[in-house]
Structure formats: C-alpha cells, structure tokens
Amino acid sequence: MAPLKSLFFSFLLLSFLFASAASEPCGNHWFDEGKTFASCNDLPSLNCSLHWNYHSSSQTIEIAFRRSSADQKSKWISWAINPDSKGMVGSQALVAFPRDDGTMAAYTSSITSYATQLEQGNLSFPVDGVSSIVKDNEMIIFATLTLPANTTTVNHLWQEGPLVGNVPGMHRLSGPNVGSMGTLDFLSGKILVNKPSSSRNHGKIVHGVLCAFGWGFLIPVGALIARHGRQFLGPGPAWFHAHRFCQCTAYLMGLAGGIIGVSLWVGILGVGIGAGSHQYIGITVLCLGAIQGIVGYYRPHKEDKKRVYFNIFHYSVGYGTIGLSIANVFLGFHMVHFGIKTWPQLTYIVAISFLGTIALVLEGVAYWKSINPSKTSLQHQIVA
C-alpha cells in the first residue's frame, strides 16, 4: 500500500511542477544582457506579459512587452498607449515583427484609423531605445517612454496578427483579440481589463444571420423563382407573387442587418471597426436593392417598346447584386476569421451549393424542353 501512496504522491508533485512550468508567471522570467524590471503583469489574453521600471522623478518608463508563441515567424506584435480614449484609434503603438530576411523590425506607429497597416511614424510622446528580439518562442519589444507630468495610469492595448510579406495584416476581430485592452497603473501595477460589449457580440451575430440569409440566400432563391417559376407554377401570376415575396422579405432582412452593421461600424454598439471592402460592398448592395424595387414598381407594360431596356437593366442589376451579396457574405466570414471548416461558413457553402445545383438542373430541364417542345408547353404558349 505504501508504494502506491508514494507513486500517487510523486504523480501529483510532477503534475504540479509541470503545470507551474507551463504557466510561469512573469516575475520568474529572466532577461538577457542583465535587464531587470521591478514590476510586471501577465496580461489576460494572447499569451502576453508586460514588464516595466517606473522612474517618477523623470516620468520615464522602461518597458518590455513579451508574447509567447510557437509561430513567431509569421506574426507581428504590438503594445500601445491611448492618451485620449480606450479605443484603437488614437493609440500610440510599439510594433515589432520578423522580416523576410530574418532581421527584426521594431518601430513606433501612431494609429489614426481602423484601416491602419501600422505604418511607421512618430508618437505624441517621446520614445527611445525601441528594439525587439525573438528567442525561445518569445518575441519581446523593449522601449523607454516619457509620459506627461503626473501621469501614472494609462489606457493600453496589446495585439498580434498575421504578416503579409513585410506588412502587418489585419488581426482577428473575434475572440481574445477583441478584449485585449484595459487600464494600467504603472505606480501600483494594477491592471483593469475592458470586457468586450455583449451587445456588440450579439449585434455581430444578428447582423451576420440576417445578411447571410437575406442577401446571400433568399435573394438568389427569388431570382431562381423568376427565371424558372413558370415551369412549375404555370403562366399565371403565382410565380411573380412568389418572386416578389422572396425579394421583399430578403431586402427587409438585409436592411435590418445593414442598419446593425452600420451601428457596429460607427461604434454605436461598442468600439467601432475599420472601414473596408465588406462595409462598402454592403452599402452598395443596399442601394442596388432599393433601386431594383423602385424601378420594378414603375416597370413599363409588356407591350411597351421600352420594356426591353427595363429587362436589361433589371437582369443586370439583379444578377450583379446577387454576385456582390454572395461575395460579401464570404468577406464577412473572413473578417471574423470563420474558416471553411467552421460550421457557419460550411453551412452557407452547403446551402449555396445546393441552390446552385438546383439552378443547373432547372437550366438543363429548360434547355431540354426548348429543343423538345411538348404539347403542354405549346398550349401554354398559345394561352400566354
């Protein structure tokens, strides 16, 4: 019995030691070249830590910002102070990443918009000694900052993201990247993390569902009904009513999703996001949908010679809107980093592929009927 107890105790001890080693606190970290820091804090996301020495007499702060990861060669990291607000715009950032030639880039960047690519530039306060190293799966930024007089508490942010060549790419817009900001008191070492707004997260979900189903699925269904509805619903007005119902429902859903999207964009539902292709395409689709509805309401009569111009415009704008809508759904998935194997994007791919298959089958049936006209189709043509 005693050997079993000893074995069990040894197992618990080893588990504790391994767990301690895996989650080594920042205070146990040793820097090369004799660098020492009196204070540190393990940041609550992205495997980052911040070390600093605060010199009250000169209002200077020596900092070391660390990120631990096994994929440092394809990442950039950044730590920033925002003197005016808690958001991203206005942040004064330190940036570092490994270049293609193996050297390290370490510089300052003043973030003036959400579309930033972290271009090099001066900060609103003095910074000296900016450098960076990669060692043992860690990337570290060193710098010395000079803060305004009587300032010890700051709004700070930290981030990591992919590299596109030697240019920082957009970081993820979901998960821990969204909540990587807070306030830091250099004197006491106290850090408060700003939690992402729940209303913002719910808004993104509702926006995505409404736009993906309305613009990305129901609009193509309505177009399919308009093109092939006569084959199954007859030459009467039933197909037109079904088409109009689908398109109006889809537009109202897309309009509601678009309003939520604009609210997310400008920051009504929390911190705003940067303007990009997804936002501009979304606004374009909303405008095209409204134009389609207005022009469709005032369409010329079938016998009117101008009807041919209406048809060209209606079909061109309609199919163009469908293409933009589907492309924008995938851009939305890309913005929140939903990969093809994640269930939201996979579900949409299956749904739109199924719809495309139906469209191809119906096109085949229509072509077969055109070269092999039946008595029924001839009767329908006579009635029409």
Task: Tell me if 334 is assigned to a ligand binding site.
Answer: no
The CA distances from residue 60 to 103, 108, 113, 144, in Å, are 28, 17, 27, 7
Give the chain's length: 384
Task: Tell me if 156 is assigned to a ligand binding site.
Answer: no
How many angstroms from the chain centroid is the CA of residue 94? Answer: 23
Q: Which amino acid is at 301?
A: H
Tell me the pairing of strands 138-146 and 60-68.
Answer: antiparallel
Task: Tell me if 314 is assigned to a ligand binding site.
Answer: yes
Per the CB < 8 A criterion, the answer to whether 225 and 242 are in contact is yes
The Cα 196–Cα 264 span in angstroms is 13
The Cα 328–Cα 288 span in angstroms is 14
Rg (CA), the chain: 29
Helix, strand, coil percent values for the chain (each to nearest 5):
50, 20, 30
Longest Cα pair distance anywhere in the chain, in angstroms?
101
Per the CB < 8 A criterion, the answer to whether 53 and 38 are in contact is yes
3-class DSSP state for residue 182? strand
- Which residue, chain included where needed, has tokens 């495309």? 356
The CA distances from residue 275 to 114, 268, 279, 282, in Å, are 7, 15, 6, 11
Tell me the pairing of strands 92-98 and 167-168.
Answer: unpaired
The Cα 218–Cα 274 span in angstroms is 28
- Which residue, chain included where needed, has tokens 């000169």? 58
The Cα 24–Cα 30 span in angstroms is 11
Task: Tell me if 207 is assigned to a ligand binding site.
Answer: yes
Angle between helix 238-266 and 219-233 (nearest 10): 180
- 127-135, strands of its sheet edge to edge: 39-42, 48-55, 60-68, 138-146, 127-135
Retrieve residue 67's tokens. Answer: 């990120």
Residues annotated in the binding site, as ranges? 207, 243, 278, 314
Residues annotated in the binding site for heme b, as ranges? 207, 243, 278, 314
